Amino acid sequence: MSDELDVLKSVTAQLEGANILGGGVMNDTSPDIESRYRAMIMERSGEERIKMGCSMFDAAKALMQAGILDQNPHASPAEIRRALFMQLYGREFDAESRAKILAAIESASHPVVN
């Protein structure tokens, strides 16, 4: 497992060095194909495009959740929500805001009983 992690870290460092990760853009699609693809997407209704986007987001979340559970098969629902938040939005917030959000996720998993 450690060897796999070392390889992943090495590849990540190489991609960051090539400016592919962390804001860089990789594009291997020819301008002609990209233009045709965009035209096909724009032929769809706004509702269809929203459904496609939501479906892709749901698929991405399912893949992330599977990865979380692969790393920690006994993760609680709250642990999964925290990990998903960190993967999806963690870099968007400063440390203080992130801590508040994570605390809210944790408290939401413990309902108040009267």
Alpha-carbon dihedral sign for residues 52, 58, 59, 60: positive
Examine the domain organization and report whether 97 and 108 are in the same domain.
yes
**Domain limits for position 58:** 29-73
Examine the domain organization and report whether 109 and 93 are in the same domain.
yes
pLDDT digits (tens, 9 = 90+) for 41-80: 999 999 999 999 999 999 999 999 999 999 999 999 989 9
Examine the domain organization and report whether 69 and 88 are in the same domain.
no
Contact predicate 83/75, CB 8 Å: yes
Residue 102 belongs to some domain of the structure: yes
Examine the pLDDT at 114 and tell me if it is beyond 90.
no
Examine the domain organization and report whether 87 and 56 are in the same domain.
no
> Looking at the whole model, is its pTM more than 0.75?
no
pLDDT at 98: 92
Rounded CA gap, 21 and 44, in Å?
31
pLDDT at 27: 80
pLDDT at 69: 95
Examine the domain organization and report whether 33 and 69 are in the same domain.
yes
In the numeric block, the tokens 């108040």 are attached to 112
- The whole-number average pLDDT for the span 77-87 is 92
Examine the pLDDT at 111 and tell me if it is beyond 80.
no
Residue 4 belongs to some domain of the structure: no
Residue 89 belongs to some domain of the structure: yes
The distance between the two most distant Cα atoms of the chain, rounded to a whole number of Å, is 63
Examine the domain organization and report whether 65 and 81 are in the same domain.
no
Examine the pLDDT at 9 and tell me if it is beyond 60.
yes
